[in-house]
């Protein structure tokens, strides 16, 4: 069925990232336009929460950015002359897929903040679940006290395009160059950067450069519980309701 659907799909040249449906059932539109049905086992639209999540909604005592999951990323940047290079865990988010741009948020207490202001180049290293203890060691310690590469046991490498260290155990490196920054009261600074190069260990991506998720046992942080979870099962993809399978970002 999937092969037949792909054959019937018209060219996507000149299309925007998403094709918006004006009205009616998304699933019905897929069947009518593409001549195919949604993926088996993937609920499309109108899904109801499980029975355990049907109780009344309540206001929590403390507001918080409860948006799970969020990326678990190790940022690496050169240190000052005579000081160790820095590995840091910062809030990280995608700004744009095309052009490839990301943002990182650093507080006044983060050693990485001053280093990003000096160097303008850094690497985002995607860790594996097997690295979660090293990840937490980096997160719970300051580079002002010790070399976090030595403390965590992670291996220092060198980026290909930018002047910054890498974590060699990470299967994916996003090499970044800062193009703007924004002060956010009371103590945050957001750095906006272009991803100028992405490298991946053989087997982590296919020939087209698309991430092979089951091959990379990465994890995310659940903002709201403070826990780390691996990805689990696939439940859909970007563009699934309009028959698209080509969108990566």
What single string gives the DSSP state of each residue in 137-170? HHHTS-TTTS-HHHHHTPPEEE-SSSS-EEETT-
Number of folded domains that form the chain: 2
Tell me which H or E stretch contains 77. strand 74-77
pTM of the model: 0.78
Residue with the bigger pLDDT between 104 and 2: it is 104
Q: Looking at the predicted structure, is the pLDDT value of residue 17 above 80? A: no
User: Which residues span the domain enclosing 221?
Assistant: 70-228
116 with 34, same domain: the answer is no
38 with 130, same domain: the answer is no
6 with 80, same domain: the answer is no
What does the pLDDT average to over 154-167? 98
Residues 6 or more apart in contact with residue 45 via CB below 8 angstroms: 25, 26, 27, 241
Q: Kindly indicate the confidence band of residue 32, based on its pLDDT and cuts at 50, 70 and 90.
A: very low
Q: Looking at the predicted structure, is the pLDDT value of residue 179 above 50? A: yes
Q: What is the pLDDT of residues 191-243, one digit of tens each?
A: 999 999 999 999 999 998 999 999 999 899 988 899 999 987 887 888 888 99
90 with 30, same domain: the answer is no
6 with 93, same domain: the answer is no
Q: Is residue 239 part of a domain?
A: no
Residue with the bigger pLDDT between 229 and 49: it is 229
pLDDT at 151: 94
74 with 36, same domain: the answer is no
**CATH code for the domain in which residue 134 is found:** 2.30.110.10
């Amino acid at each position: 069925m999937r092969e037949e659907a792909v054959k019937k799909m018209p060219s996507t040249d000149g299309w925007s990232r998403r094709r918006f449906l004006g009205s009616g059932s998304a699933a019905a539109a897929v069947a009518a336009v593409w001549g195919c049905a949604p993926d088996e086992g993937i609920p499309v639209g109108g899904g109801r929460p499980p029975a355990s999540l049907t109780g009344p909604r309540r206001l929590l005592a403390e507001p918080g950015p409860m948006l799970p999951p969020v990326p678990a990323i190790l940022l690496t940047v050169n240190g000052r002359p005579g000081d160790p290079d820095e590995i840091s865990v910062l809030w990280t988010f995608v700004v744009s897929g095309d052009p490839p741009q990301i943002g990182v948020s650093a507080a006044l207490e983060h050693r990485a903040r001053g280093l990003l202001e000096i160097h303008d180049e850094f690497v985002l290293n995607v860790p594996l679940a097997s690295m979660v203890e090293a990840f937490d060691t980096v997160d719970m310690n300051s580079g002002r006290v010790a070399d976090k590469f030595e403390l965590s046991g992670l291996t220092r490498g060198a980026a290909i395009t930018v002047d910054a260290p890498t974590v060699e155990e990470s299967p994916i490196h996003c090499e970044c160059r800062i193009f703007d920054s924004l002060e956010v009261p009371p103590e945050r600074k957001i750095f906006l950067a272009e991803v100028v190069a992405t490298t991946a260990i053989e087997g982590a991506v296919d020939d087209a450069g698309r991430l092979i998720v089951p091959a990379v046992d990465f994890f995310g942080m659940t903002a709201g519980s403070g826990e780390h979870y691996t990805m689990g099962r696939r439940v859909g993809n970007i563009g699934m309701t309009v028959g698209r399978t080509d969108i990566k970002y």
